[in-house]
Amino acid sequence: MSDTVKIYVDEKMMEVPAGISVAAAILGHSHSHNHSNDQSRKAFHNNSMDASPRAPYCLMGVCFECMMEIDGEANVQSCLVTVQDGMQVKRQLNTEAFHYKNTEDDLPENRRTNND
């Protein structure tokens, strides 16, 4: 058994230690493969509400901040998936976000229903 495996992150090959999570593999390589200060390059995904860049926080499946597309399946918690040789990983950096208007009229208790 090899001590390392090759995974592809956004179509770029990375050689990472076997047996670790996808999130750990990417976090462990981000400092050496990312020479940009662009925060979106460090993000795993963008928040669906405000498009802010997100990255792993808890690394144990509680926070859902490590979501990535893994082998074609979107919204996978990358901290819970062990790297496999040849795995295809993509960051979910959709820039479209759903925005609430920040007004009192938009609060659920202030919305009119058909019964009003």
In a domain, 112, yes or no: no
Q: Is residue 113 part of a domain?
A: no
Whether 54 is covered by a domain: the verdict is yes
Average pLDDT of the segment spanning 103-112: 55
Q: Give me the CATH number covering residue 74.
A: 3.10.20.740
The domain in which residue 63 lies consists of 4-92
Q: What pLDDT digit, counting tens, does each position of 10-50 carry?
A: 999 999 999 999 999 999 876 444 444 444 456 888 887 78
Domain count, the chain: 1
**pLDDT(53) > 60:** yes
| 71, part of any domain | yes
Q: Does residue 21 lie within any of the structural domains?
A: yes
- Residue 8 pLDDT greater than 70, yes or no: yes
Cβ-contact 71, 88 below 8 angstroms = yes
In terms of DSSP H, where are the helices of 1-116? 22-33, 39-42
Q: What is the reported pTM? A: 0.70
Query: For residue 69, is it within any domain?
Result: yes
